[in-house]
């Protein structure tokens, strides 16, 4: 994995969908409407772009449970991958359940995103080890999904 | 123009799903929407959007038979098969401000359009 050496992070914290991105997500609604069997639950990372996409793409699925899960988040490359406190997420997405997110990260005052390494260093804006951010949580993701059915 | 093509592909997918089943025979489904750059192109079930499968309708994985899964005949047969599998659909988030910035500034990543993929889960 490499990045251009002169790349500058624009600091789009928790970046939002563009108009085009919202249209892309909404264009899935006619597809999800016909999913059979109908969806039971939506699981999205607590990042704004993911939850907004899920809302738009599955807008026609009424009464569906909506859960956020930090394990679904993207790798941490830039400020755009830095999330927000569960309270702020809940305010913007009141029909999404952030209970687990809040409880699981209570010790870190609700900080569920990467916020610097263990020894106090701050690598925001720099690529972080994929093995640390992506590979290790895979097992946890499997456990999370097992709530809804075991991965085959 | 590109948007129209995408819409056409999605419309095609909807048609295929409807033809492939819609009988409500499944017993459950788990739907996940992840942002994981799970959108690696190799992970995407391109058949979901393909319009060049020799005319065969798209058949969701849980409705595919054990052989010749993409065949039209199996599509109708499989639709009547009750399944206890759960299905995980992965959806890539739509284009973001950051995606557009990355597209305009040198970066090794390539934005991958939102896609959907179904994965079998057991109950």
d(CA A68, CA A41): 11
Contact A72 B36 (CB under 8 A): yes
Q: Which residues of chain A have pLDDT under 50?
A: 1-3, 121-134, 151-152
Q: Which residue in A has a C-alpha nearest to residue B91's C-alpha?
A: A54
Contact B94 A24 (CB under 8 A): yes
Contact A4 B97 (CB under 8 A): no
pLDDT at residue number A93: 96
pLDDT at residue number A116: 63
User: Which residues does chain A have within 8 Å of residue B14's beta carbon, measured at their own beta carbons?
Assistant: 30-31, 33-34
Q: Burial letters for A86-115: b for 16+ Cβ neighbours within 10 Å, e otherwise?
A: beebbeebeebebeebbeebeeeebbbbbe
Q: How many domains does chain A have?
A: 1
d(CA B47, CA B44): 9
- Return all residues near B79 (Cβ < 8 A) that are at least 6 apart: B20, B21, B22, B23, B25, B63
In this predicted model, which residue has the larger pLDDT, B95 or B122?
A: B95
pLDDT at residue number B97: 94
Domain that holds residue A123: 19-145
Smallest Cβ–Cβ distance between B28 and the set A18, A31, A149 belongs to A149
Q: Is the CB of residue A126 less than 8 Å away from at least one CB of chain B?
A: no
pLDDT at residue number A131: 43
Q: How many domains does chain B have?
A: 1
Tens digits of per-residue pLDDT, B68-112? 444 444 444 444 455 566 788 888 899 999 989 888 886 655 444
Q: Is the CB of residue A60 less than 8 Å away from at least one CB of chain B?
A: no
Q: What are the beta bridge partners of residue A66?
A: A42
pTM > 0.80: no
pLDDT at residue number A77: 67
- In this prediction, residues B61-66 reach a mean pLDDT of 56
Tens digits of per-residue pLDDT, B24-37? 222 222 354 333 33
What is chain B's mean pLDDT, rounded?
50
pLDDT at residue number B74: 46
pLDDT at residue number A63: 84
Q: Is the CB of residue A127 less than 8 Å away from at least one CB of chain B?
A: no
DSSP E strands: which ranges in chain B? Answer: 86-91, 116-122
In which element (H, E) is residue B102 found? helix B97-104
pLDDT at residue number B28: 27
Assess if residue A44 is contained within a domain: yes
d(CA A43, CA A34): 19
Contact B121 A34 (CB under 8 A): no
Pairing of strands A65-68, B86-91: unpaired
Query: What is the number of other CB atoms lying within 10 angstroms of the CB of residue B87?
Result: 25
Assess if residue A88 is contained within a domain: yes
Distance from CA of B105 to the nearest CA of A (A): 7
Contact A24 B6 (CB under 8 A): yes
pLDDT at residue number A48: 96
pLDDT at residue number B114: 41
d(CA A147, CA B121): 11
User: Which residues does chain B have within 8 Å of residue A28's beta carbon, measured at their own beta carbons?
Assistant: 10, 91, 114, 116
Nearest to A115 by CA among A130, A106, A125, A103: A125
Contact B6 A151 (CB under 8 A): no
Smallest Cβ–Cβ distance between A21 and the set B95, B105, B108 belongs to B95
Domain that holds residue B60: 2-121
ipTM of the complex: 0.80
């Amino acid at each position: 994995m490499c990045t251009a050496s002169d790349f500058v992070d624009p600091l789009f914290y928790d970046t939002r969908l563009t108009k085009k991105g919202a249209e892309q997500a909404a264009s899935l609604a006619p597809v999800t409407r016909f999913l059979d069997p109908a969806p039971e639950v939506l699981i999205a990372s607590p990042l704004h772009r993911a939850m907004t996409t899920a809302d738009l793409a599955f807008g026609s699925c009424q009464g569906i449970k909506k859960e956020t899960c930090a394990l679904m988040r993207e790798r941490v490359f830039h400020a755009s991958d830095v999330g927000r406190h569960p309270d702020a997420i809940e305010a913007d997405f009141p029909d999404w359940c952030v209970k687990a997110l809040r409880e699981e990260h209570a010790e870190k005052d609700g900080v569920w995103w990467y916020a610097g390494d263990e020894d106090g260093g701050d690598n925001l804006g720099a690529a972080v080890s994929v093995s640390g951010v992506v590979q290790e949580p895979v097992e946890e993701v499997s456990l999370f999904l097992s709530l809804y059915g075991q991965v085959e | 123009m590109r948007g129209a093509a995408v819409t056409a592909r999605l419309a095609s997918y909807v048609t295929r799903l409807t033809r492939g089943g819609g009988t409500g025979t499944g017993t459950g489904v788990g739907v996940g929407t992840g942002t994981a750059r799970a959108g690696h192109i190799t992970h995407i079930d391109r058949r979901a959007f393909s319009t060049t499968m020799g005319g065969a309708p798209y058949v969701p994985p849980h409705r595919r038979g054990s052989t010749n899964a993409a065949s039209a005949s199996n599509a109708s047969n499989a639709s009547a098969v009750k399944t206890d599998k759960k299905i995980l659909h992965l959806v890539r988030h739509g284009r973001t401000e950051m995606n557009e910035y990355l597209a305009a500034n040198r970066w090794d990543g390539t934005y991958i359009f939102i896609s959907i993929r179904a994965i079998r889960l057991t109950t």
